[in-house]
Chains A and B, each alone.
Chain A
Amino acid sequence: MNLERKARVLIAKPGLDGHDRGVKIIARAYRDAGFEVIYTGVHQTPEQIVNAAIQEDVDLVGLSCLSGAHLYLFSEVMRQLRERGADDITVIGGGIIPKEDVPKLREAGMKEVFLPGTSLAQIITWTRENIKLK
């Protein structure tokens, strides 16, 4: 990891459910670990998320979904990133996601999906090891 460059991450929550406690906790954890966190909150459309990721030139997008619509929403974010030539951005996901959906999300291009019970420290460590700072 190139230490000269500051890591930037986008934390967003696509879809209709409005619980933002979890994403706020994640955003703070990244901040406390020295990341610059663009926090766009809840009710994001995939298009808004992709636009924000590109304009903010982030290294990583963290998506959260509790509503059960993750397969559609996450895949749609991945599709639009690809369409706009921005699929070099690392995307991870979390929330209430059944284990059997993980392979499908990976196939859609997500680098990692964190299941309930993952600690904040694990997520931060994973991020440090896996994002490529240009």
Chain B
Amino acid sequence: MKLLNRVLKGDVRAAAQLIRSLEDDVPEAVAELKDVYLHTGQAYIVGIAGAPGAGKSTILESLIDIFRKGNMKIGVVAIDPTSPLSGGAILGDRLRMQRQGADEDVFIRSLASRGWKGGLSKATMNTVHVLDAMGKDIIFVEAVGSGQGEVDFARIADTSIVTLIPGLGDEIQMMKAGIMEMADIFVINKAEREGSDNLRMSLEAMLSMTPHQPNTWQPNILLTEAILNKGTEQLAKVILRHKDFLISSNKIEKCRRRRAELELTAAIESTLHHHLETMSGCLLVKLIDDLVLRKTDPKSAALKVINLPEQK
């Protein structure tokens, strides 16, 4: 039987194997993706980002418990960095999600970034699709613990959570561009620590600089102590409230388009990349000759390679 048929029945082993084969670009699996995609679009996607060690995985463990009480089926895709030196990786997010370790309806998958930029990994969306096709109601995507520029998690998510902890910066960090602009919900975790009130005040000050438009979502600021499950009930409520807002205002459509756009551009890029790697050497050599002889320029040569007409 094709893996997909088993995935649709909720077969964990089949789903895990399909995810793996998709990540490794195994041709048979990639061929199945067409059908997988037709069975997706049901799950609600929540992205979470923040500095390394801010508590993202711990927050997820607590949230999963709460959503499981509502009998929701949960998927988690957690990305950790690949070593640029060895190509290996330690995937340790699962370590923080032990309570769900024996729950059949919670599927946690760790991915290594494998050099992908933007805080996710190339395989992230395909993994989300398989979990979606499997019937998960909510899928959490934990981005690589990172700095300010990695915003792809928010492009694929319906609800974006940015996790902060006291003591890492001041108001200037709040003004900088990047993930701070992407949050639907700010979580100040490790709130027992000194400085969490100051952090909340600077966040509020930052948010008050953007005047509130009618019919837009005003980002929330929540304080949590995830390790003690404090504040996470409230966080779960706000996630659901944001979901209701997206649906009632039909902004959910925008999330879907944004996600589709990111996937499309990534697919075009990787297809071109693949095309370039497998392209007959002759054409490349010929174009390089032409470049050296100044018979053409790099841009025109590139257009010739991907078979596009010259731009006027």
Contacts and interface: CB of A to CB of B under 8 A. Distances in A.
Contact of A33 (B21, B88, B109, B110): B88
Contacts of B24: 4-6
Contacts of A54: 12-13, 16
Interface in A5-34: 5-6, 8, 27-28, 30-34
B91 interface: yes
Interface stretch (B34-42, B95-103, B257-265): B95-103
B109 A55 contact: yes
A8 to B, nearest CB: 7
A31 B98 contact: no
A101 interface: no
A47 B99 CA distance: 12
Given A44-B101, A51-B101, A38 B110 contact: yes
A57 B110 contact: no
Interface string B8-44: 0000110011011101111000000000000000000
A84 B23 CA distance: 23
Contact of A39 (B20, B85, B90, B107): B90
A114 interface: no
A35 B25 CA distance: 18
A35 B23 CA distance: 15
Interface residues of B, number: 32
A61 B110 CA distance: 15
Contact of A55 (B87, B95, B107): B107
Contact of B94 (A28, A38, A84, A86): A38
The B contact surface, by secondary structure, is mixed
Given A4-B24, A6-B24, A38-B94, A33 B102 contact: no
B88 A37 contact: yes
Contacts of B85: 32
A57 B16 contact: yes
B89 A36 contact: yes
B86 interface: yes
A31 B90 contact: yes
A28 to B, nearest CB: 7
A30 B88 contact: yes
B101 A86 contact: no
Contact of B101 (A27, A30, A31, A47): A47
Contacts of A30: 88
Contacts of B25: 4
Contact of A31 (B13, B83, B94): B83
Interface in A36-54: 36-41, 43-45, 47-48, 51-52, 54
A98 interface: no
B88 A31 contact: yes
A51 to B, nearest CB: 6
B156 interface: no
A116 to B, nearest CB: 24
B90 A28 contact: yes
A48 B91 contact: no
A55 B10 CA distance: 12
Given A41-B95, A45-B102, A27 B20 contact: no
A27 B89 CA distance: 9
B85 to A, nearest CB: 8
Contacts of B23: 6
18 contacts: A4-B25, A6-B24, A30-B88, A33-B88, A34-B86, A34-B88, A36-B88, A36-B112, A38-B91, A39-B92, A39-B95, A40-B101, A47-B101, A48-B98, A48-B102, A52-B101, A52-B108, A56-B110
Interface of B: 12-13, 16-17, 19-21, 23-26, 82-83, 85-92, 94-95, 98, 101-102, 107-110, 112, 114
Interface of A: 4-6, 8, 27-28, 30-41, 43-45, 47-48, 51-52, 54-57, 84-86, 134
Top 3 A-B residue pairs of the complex, sorted by shortest distance between their CB atoms: A48-B101, A31-B88, A57-B16
